[in-house]
Amino acid sequence: MVFACVTFTGITEEQKEVLTALLSEIGFEGYEETDTEFKAFIGKEVLDIIALDSVVENLALNYTLSEIEPQNWNALWEGNFEPVIVDDFCAIRADFHGSLKDQAKYEIVITPKMSFGTGHHATTYMMIQLMRNTPMQGKSVLDYGCGTGVLAILAERLGAVYTMAIDIDEWAYQNTLENVLNNNCKKIEVVQGELDRIDTRTFDIILANINKHVLQFSMEHMYRALHSEGVLLLSGILHEDEDDIVSLAVSCGFRKLAVIKRGSWMAISFTRGYE
């Protein structure tokens, strides 16, 4: 697969946060920052120039478009991917980094490729923070929009007896399979497709780090897929979208438990049912 690389210069931190959210909604999968540039990546065959131009115009930004061959992606990550340590709880590194076991209780080794979910982005970081305070021993878990599979891998580390990691994207599906194998996980089923691929199965915990529109579209389905008194952890939510997401979740039968914020982003935990 050939990837399109969209490069922005002269972009502020606030613009990066909003831009990442909007680009993710139109199919962009990977992002890279340098001191002077912000790059976004998407499969060339799924790039919608009209949608891209609309996003860029609304933010008053300019961009340049280029192509990147897939075999260059690993070299790109090796040059720019730094380990992530979430508090003293979870360390995420690539296989070319040294061990971080002395800095965090859990260590996950991933080859990120083009999949979202390395821990660098605020939304993944906060999901891991919420997972720290969510008992998972003996639980069943759904990682909806799994990206690299990092949250599913962490769920198994935390004692989940079964996790389904599902993503519509072929690249994410293949990357999760690879990362699950490399982390010696035995209790994760990786599935490619929409949420309806879970059929009638239900779970104790659902993890959904996606975007506002997918969360809204899937809220009722996630409610049906969650056991009574189960826990739903959501991220991919900008501050200004909090009321919309919470109102919809409550109308479906969820009860809000906690909210955490990082930069322009937030993560929210819910339980199924009212007090």
What pLDDT is recorded for position 12?
82
What pLDDT is recorded for position 77?
56
Of 82, 78, 210, 96, which is closest to residue 143 (Cα–Cα)? 210
Q: Which residues contact 114 (CB under 8 A, 6 or more apart)?
A: 3, 29, 30, 41, 43, 70, 73, 171, 175
What pLDDT is recorded for position 275?
47
- Alpha helices, DSSP H only, in 122-233? 122-132, 150-157, 170-182, 212-224
Hey, what's the torsion of the CAs at 33, 35, 38, 41, to 10 degrees?
-40
Which residues are paired to 6 by β-bridges? 40, 65
What pLDDT is recorded for position 78?
57
What pLDDT is recorded for position 105?
93
254-262 and 265-272: which strand pairing? antiparallel
Question: pLDDT tens per residue, the chain (275 residues)?
Answer: 678 889 998 888 778 878 887 887 788 877 777 778 888 888 888 899 999 999 998 888 999 999 876 655 556 655 566 788 899 999 998 877 777 788 889 999 987 665 555 656 788 999 999 999 999 999 999 999 998 899 999 999 999 999 999 998 887 898 899 999 999 999 999 999 999 999 889 999 999 998 888 899 999 999 999 999 999 999 988 888 899 999 999 999 999 999 999 888 899 999 997 54
Domains of the chain: 3-78 (3.30.70.980), 134-272 (3.40.50.150)
What pLDDT is recorded for position 60?
87
Hey, what's the torsion of the CAs at 261, 264, 270, 275, to 10 degrees?
70
pTM score, whole prediction:
0.78
